[in-house]
């Protein structure tokens, strides 16, 4: 007698992917500046660690958010008992407001359509359970977040069918590609229930333009299938072009769409840097989906203690406006420095304006244009260069040689060490080396203006450093002396 289920004993959890193998390599030998300076630097985890000082300052000023004041403690009982799957009204209102602000207040979100879930992970699974039966399929443009294989398929029995996107047009999602994927699914006698897009994109770090979004909405409306927009990176758009949400597109006059097909997945894990608090949101324009998802949310409600904290924090308009601006600025700086450093050693990357990562082009480092060669390169990067980066194949990228590298989950010092290792590796490889600009100590100090509209030229000086770095000088400079 088989003791456990097929789901439990199969591989649907997806953890045998190299995406997770790299994490394991990191966990057995994690980098630490003093205790383990030769350890693996984690660049495979898309976390936003740049804004914590802002949040800490707010918490100090608002102990009631943590129920820490005598008045707050009185609220403890009420909070501890609150298990209504509708969620605290103030929590939903605060989240709806935040979602609107992140979209420049160009759209308003209805708090009554906000449904909680166990992080975006729980949200995706819940949406799949609501919209599709086992054996039915969702179309997903490649490359896509590896976790979708688990979140959307594992316990639901739903299939994912890739919509192939290519580097030759910057991985744009074309109507042709959508149609081709749709036909393929039908030929396999499967039923397509929806299209899942991640905008801003993980792993590309780009946003979808208005025309692409409109053509997608047209596509799903024609086929009468759902559109799920994973917008968990919405507040990480640090540069032009501006983020356009599907919530905005469906309001446009020239867009015809059955709103019952439109659903958004959101979370505070990336935008605010709170993955530990498990705040996932399903926002649907379909009343039946809201109702069903709400019942299913019982399986992953947000802790009322956390709902209270988030409600307090996100209803502070001044804090939120400041946070959104600051966060973008810090991400912009970090991204700029990183990409500049990569280009200095001849590493190409997709031009991105969002997210917590860069989509690196290492195709010219491959021995041959195969995924086996990509894996070989990846092993070298993990074991010799001691960096955990994520290989494109784990994102179902159709072309070997692309890698996702995260830049927002470490302090300045660690970032510099990582970049130095990359530089050393590239020098050793001696492939397509770009002559290095000399790093002048005087240019290391740079005062940052707070406006995001300054041009790229302002940041072409080398050795950009965030004012928060503990080091007076870049290790790149030290290495040369």
Within 222-251, the residues that bind another protein by CB under 8 A are 224, 226
Q: How far is the CB of 6 from another protein (least distance, A)?
A: 5
Closer residue to another protein, CB minimum distance, 4 or 168: 4
What tokens appear for 187 in the block?
Answer: 């030929």
CA atoms of 164 and 166, how far apart (whole Å): 7
Q: How far is the CB of 15 from another protein (least distance, A)?
A: 7
Q: Is 334 in the site for another protein (CB under 8 A)?
A: no
Contact call for residues 90 and 314 (beta carbons, < 8 A): no
Contact call for residues 343 and 383 (beta carbons, < 8 A): no
Q: Is 1 in the site for another protein (CB under 8 A)?
A: yes
**Pick from 306, 341, 344, 382: which binds another protein (CB under 8 A)?**
306
Q: How far is the CB of 11 from another protein (least distance, A)?
A: 11
Beta carbons within 8 Å of 378's beta carbon, 6+ residues apart: 18, 22, 389, 391, 403
Closer residue to another protein, CB minimum distance, 302 or 311: 302
Q: How far is the CB of 447 from another protein (least distance, A)?
A: 26
Catalytic residue among 19, 26, 145, 337: 145
What tokens appear for 19 in the block?
Answer: 């995406």
Contact call for residues 245 and 280 (beta carbons, < 8 A): no
Q: Is 15 in the site for another protein (CB under 8 A)?
A: yes
Q: Is 364 in the site for another protein (CB under 8 A)?
A: no
Q: Which stretch binds another protein (CB under 8 A): 6-14, 331-339, 384-392, 469-477?
A: 6-14
**Pick from 174, 215, 303, 429: which binds another protein (CB under 8 A)?**
303
**Pick from 89, 134, 241, 475: which binds another protein (CB under 8 A)?**
134
Q: How many residues sit close enough to another protein to count as binding (CB under 8 A)?
A: 75
Mark whether 230 is an active-site residue. Answer: yes
Report the run of H or E that residue 193 belongs to, with start and end. strand 192-198
Q: Considering only residues 280-299, where is the footprint of another protein by CB under 8 A?
A: 286, 288-289, 292, 295-296, 298-299
- Residue 135 gets the label, from left (phi > 0), alpha (psi -120 to 50) or beta, of left
**Pick from 269, 312, 333, 341: which binds another protein (CB under 8 A)?**
269
Closer residue to another protein, CB minimum distance, 81 or 456: 81
Within 10 angstroms of residue 212's Cβ, the number of other Cβ atoms is 18
Q: Which stretch binds another protein (CB under 8 A): 118-126, 164-172, 201-209, 328-336?
A: 118-126
Nearest C-alpha neighbor of 353 from the set 216, 208, 212, 211: 208
Q: Is 89 in the site for another protein (CB under 8 A)?
A: no
For residue 174, the Cα-to-chain-centroid distance in whole angstroms is: 22
Catalytic residue among 21, 149, 230, 361: 230
**From residue 406 to residue 425, what is the string marking binding to another protein with x (rule CB under 8 A)?**
--------------------
Using only C-alpha atoms, what is the Rg of the chain?
A: 23
**Pick from 198, 201, 221, 304: which binds another protein (CB under 8 A)?**
304
Nearest C-alpha neighbor of 268 from the set 206, 314, 328: 314
Q: Is 278 in the site for another protein (CB under 8 A)?
A: yes
φ, ψ at 275 (rounded to 5°): -60, -30
Which residue's structure tokens are 């072309």?
Answer: 399
Mark whether 173 is an active-site residue. Answer: no
SS3 labels along 443-477: HHCCCCCCCCCCCHHHHCCCCCCCCCCCCCCCHHH
Mark whether 232 is an active-site residue. Answer: yes
CA atoms of 24 and 22, how far apart (whole Å): 5
What tokens appear for 445 in the block?
Answer: 């100090």
**Pick from 215, 305, 398, 473: which binds another protein (CB under 8 A)?**
305
Say whether 421 sits in a helix, a strand or coil.
Answer: helix
Q: Considering only residues 47-76, where is the footprint of another protein by CB under 8 A?
A: 47, 49, 52, 55-56, 59-60, 63, 66-68, 70, 72-74, 76
Which residue's structure tokens are 């993955």?
Answer: 275
**Beta-bridge partners for 32:** 36
**Pick from 40, 140, 282, 309: which binds another protein (CB under 8 A)?**
309
**Pick from 9, 170, 175, 478: which binds another protein (CB under 8 A)?**
9
Q: How far is the CB of 394 from another protein (least distance, A)?
A: 17
Contact call for residues 427 and 345 (beta carbons, < 8 A): yes
Catalytic residue numbers read: 145, 230, 232, 270
């Amino acid at each position: 007698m088989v003791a456990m289920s097929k789901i439990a004993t199969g591989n649907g959890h997806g953890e045998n992917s190299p995406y997770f193998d790299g994490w394991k390599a990191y966990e057995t030998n994690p980098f630490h500046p003093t205790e383990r300076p030769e350890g693996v630097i984690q660049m495979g985890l898309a976390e936003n660690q740049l804004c914590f000082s802002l949040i800490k300052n707010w918490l100090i000023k608002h102990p009631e958010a943590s129920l820490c004041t005598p008045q707050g403690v009185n609220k403890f009982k009420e909070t501890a008992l609150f298990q209504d799957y509708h969620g605290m009204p103030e929590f939903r209102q605060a989240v709806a407001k935040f979602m609107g602000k992140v979209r420049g207040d160009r759209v308003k979100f209805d708090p009554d359509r906000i449904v909680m879930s166990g992080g975006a992970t729980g949200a995706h699974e819940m949406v799949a359970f609501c919209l599709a039966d086992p054996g039915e399929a969702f179309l997903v443009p490649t490359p896509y977040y590896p976790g979708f294989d688990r979140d959307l398929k594992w316990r639901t029995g739903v299939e994912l069918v890739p919509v192939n996107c290519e580097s030759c047009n910057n991985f744009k999602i074309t109507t042709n590609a959508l149609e081709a994927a749709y036909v393929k699914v039908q030929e396999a006698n499967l039923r397509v229930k929806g299209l899942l897009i991640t905008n801003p994109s993980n792993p590309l770090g780009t946003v979808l333009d208005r025309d692409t979004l409109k053509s997608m909405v047209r596509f799903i409306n024609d086929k009468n299938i759902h559109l799920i927009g994973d917008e968990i990176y919405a507040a990480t758009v640090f540069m032009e072009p501006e983020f356009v949400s599907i919530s905005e597109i469906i309001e446009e006059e020239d867009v015809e769409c059955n709103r019952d097909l439109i659903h958004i997945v959101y979370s505070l894990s990336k935008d605010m840097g709170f993955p530990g608090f498990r705040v996932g949101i399903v926002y649907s324009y379909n009343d039946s989906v809201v109702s069903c998802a709400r019942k299913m949310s019982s399986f992953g409600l947000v802790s009322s203690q956390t709902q209270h904290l988030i409600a307090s924090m996100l209803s502070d308009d001044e804090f939120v406006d400041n946070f959104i601006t600051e966060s973008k600025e810090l991400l912009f700086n970090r991204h700029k420095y990183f990409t500049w450093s990569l280009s200095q050693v001849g590493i190409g990357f997709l031009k991105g304006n969002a997210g917590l990562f860069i989509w690196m082009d290492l195709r010219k480092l491959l021995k041959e244009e195969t995924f086996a060669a990509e894996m070989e390169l990846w092993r070298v990067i993990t074991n010799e260069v001691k960096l955990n980066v994520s290989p494109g194949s784990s994102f179902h990228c159709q072309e070997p040689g692309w890698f996702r590298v995260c830049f927002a989950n470490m302090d300045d010092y660690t970032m510099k060490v990582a970049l130095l290792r990359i530089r050393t590796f590239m020098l050793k490889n001696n492939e397509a080396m770009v002559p290095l600009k000399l790093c002048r100590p005087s240019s290391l100090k740079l005062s940052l203006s707070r406006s995001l509209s300054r041009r790229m030229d302002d940041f072409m000086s080398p050795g950009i450093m965030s004012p928060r770095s503990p080091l007076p000088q870049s290790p790149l400079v030290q290495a040369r002396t």
